[in-house]
């Protein structure tokens, strides 16, 4: 028989209102204070079906609503909500300003770099609104042509009247050689489009010439190749291309020649050292005296003068026989102007009063390139 608690009551049975245990304590649970009543949002029903097993704050079902819970009032925002731009600036600091500025500068540089150039002389260059110097008429044949590039005979009184044409003082050069030339070994690929003609050339040095003071034969050959392959040279015109060979017959021979041999080939009626092109022997004759010392009238460095020598005489070889005057006072001299004698029209006009250069007072600045603005 099952045991009975005090007063014969079954301990499994709940106490009724007003009952007491053996210690005399009250059993009225409804009158005992419930600590959960002090917490806002808590239900007083211990056996509620919806809340009996929920944790104190988190819920297993976050979508369920607890209408009995009292939510505290949200504090008022004292600072203005920051925009996306503001957050970006505060995060990256000075970089936020540098990035858009660099982007704008990059766009301008790219636009300027890819601006199309006109390869025809006399058109506006890509670097400025000033036109490149132009050229004379292009001859398609050199057959039967006499030596090109020599100064006119003049009246014999030019030396004291044209000091700009005199050979300046400078380094050592070989006065005379054997009068024959040897081909320097070396070839290049084609440079330029050559829509009309691909010119082949050799690089040669006169026998008996000492070029050690100038860096040797190889230095001369390198200067020739680099000048003709420069974008400012003749290949800027898509009609022309060049290719160096060291065997066979070239279209012309670019030859470093002693002072006396140059006078023999080019003439010395006016005693001014010059260079020339002789189509009878297909030879571009570059005077070594000028190569070493340059010219008084040419105000550039000796490297620029050598580039002028090459481009000017090769210009004769490809068909530009006629010399040119200064086109614009203060502008760049045309490469086919006789800059060894002067960059002022008046100086050159004294050599040939009946020639193409007028006595108009124009003075140009030295220029070694056919297309100086690239």
Highest average pLDDT, of 49-53, 148-152, 162-166, 192-196, comes from 192-196
Q: How far apart are CA 262 and CA 73, in angstroms?
A: 104
* Section 65-69 average pLDDT: 62
Q: Is pLDDT at 155 greater than 60 in this prediction?
A: no
Long-range contacts of 210-213 (CB under 8 A, 24+ apart): 210/174, 211/256, 213/171, 213/172, 213/173, 213/292
Mean pLDDT value across residues 187-202: 97
Say whether 366 sits in a helix, a strand or coil: coil
Are 203 and 257 a contacting pair, CB within 8 Å? no
pLDDT at 22: 46
d(C-alpha 137, C-alpha 63), whole Å: 92
The secondary structure of residue 279, as a DSSP letter, is T
pLDDT of 114 reads 47
**119-130 pLDDT, tens per residue?**
333 333 444 456
- Please state whether beta strands 197-206 and 252-257 pair in parallel, antiparallel, or not at all (unpaired): parallel
Judged by average pLDDT, the poorest of 44-58, 208-222, 270-284 is 44-58
Residue bearing the bigger pLDDT, 253 or 7: 253
Enter the tokens of residue 229.
Answer: 């392959």
The per-residue pLDDT for 268 is 85
Q: Does the pLDDT at position 45 exceed 60?
A: no
pLDDT, tens digit (0-9, with 9 covering 90-100), for 133-142: 888 888 876 5
Q: What is the pLDDT of residue 97?
A: 66
Q: What is the DSSP letter of 35?
A: G
pLDDT for the residue numbered 112: 53
**168-320 CATH:** 3.40.390
Q: How far is CA 343 from the centre of its chain?
A: 31
Check: CB of residue 244 under 8 Å from CB of residue 203. Answer: yes
The confidence band for 335, taking pLDDT boundaries of 50, 70 and 90, is: very high
Indicate the domain borders of the chain. Answer: 168-320
Residues 219-239 have a mean pLDDT of 97
Highest mean pLDDT: which of 68-72, 256-260, 299-303?
256-260
Considering the entire predicted model, what is its pTM? 0.66
Q: What is the pLDDT of residues 267-319, one digit of tens each?
A: 887 788 999 999 999 999 999 999 999 999 898 899 999 999 999 999 999 99
More confident residue, 150 or 7: 150
Q: What span, in angstroms and rounded, lies between the C-alpha atoms of 142 and 45?
A: 119
The pLDDT of residue 159 is above 50? no
CA–CA dist 165, 105 (Å, integer)? 47
Residue 55, pLDDT above cutoff 50? yes
- Looking at the chain, the whole-number percentage of residues with pLDDT higher than 70 is 64
């Amino acid at each position: 028989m099952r045991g009975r608690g005090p007063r014969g009551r079954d301990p499994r049975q709940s106490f009724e209102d007003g009952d007491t245990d053996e210690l005399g304590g009250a059993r009225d649970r409804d009158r005992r204070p419930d600590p959960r009543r002090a917490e806002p949002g808590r239900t007083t029903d211990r056996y509620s079906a919806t809340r009996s097993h929920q944790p104190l704050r988190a819920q297993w079902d976050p979508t369920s609503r607890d209408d009995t819970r009292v939510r505290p009032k949200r504090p008022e925002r004292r600072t203005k909500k920051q925009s996306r731009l503001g957050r970006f600036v505060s995060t990256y600091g000075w970089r936020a300003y540098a990035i858009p500025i660099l982007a704008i500068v990059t766009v301008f540089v790219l636009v300027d770099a890819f601006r199309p150039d006109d390869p025809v002389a006399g058109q506006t260059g890509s670097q400025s609104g000033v036109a490149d110097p132009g050229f004379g008429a292009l001859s398609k044949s050199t057959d039967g042509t006499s030596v090109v590039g020599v100064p006119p005979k003049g009246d014999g009184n030019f030396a004291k009247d044209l000091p700009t044409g005199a050979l300046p003082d400078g380094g050592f050069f070989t006065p005379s050689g054997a009068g024959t030339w040897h081909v320097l070994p070396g070839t290049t690929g084609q440079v330029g489009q050559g829509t009309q003609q691909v010119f082949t050339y050799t690089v040669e040095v006169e026998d008996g010439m000492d070029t050690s003071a100038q860096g040797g034969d190889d230095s001369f050959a390198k200067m020739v190749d680099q000048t003709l392959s420069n974008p400012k040279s003749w290949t800027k015109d898509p009609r022309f291309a060049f290719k160096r060979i060291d065997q066979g017959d070239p279209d012309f021979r670019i030859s470093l020649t002693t002072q006396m041999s140059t006078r023999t080939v080019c003439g010395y009626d006016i005693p001014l050292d010059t260079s020339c092109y002789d189509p009878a022997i297909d030879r571009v004759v570059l005077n070594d005296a000028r190569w070493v010392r340059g010219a008084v009238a040419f105000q550039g460095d000796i490297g620029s003068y050598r580039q002028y020598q090459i481009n000017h005489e090769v210009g004769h070889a490809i068909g530009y026989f006629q010399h040119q005057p200064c086109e614009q006072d203060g502008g760049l001299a045309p490469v086919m102007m006789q800059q060894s004698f002067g960059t002022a029209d008046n100086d050159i006009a004294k050599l040939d009063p009946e020639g193409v250069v007028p006595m108009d007072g124009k003075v140009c600045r030295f220029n070694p390139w056919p297309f100086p603005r690239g």
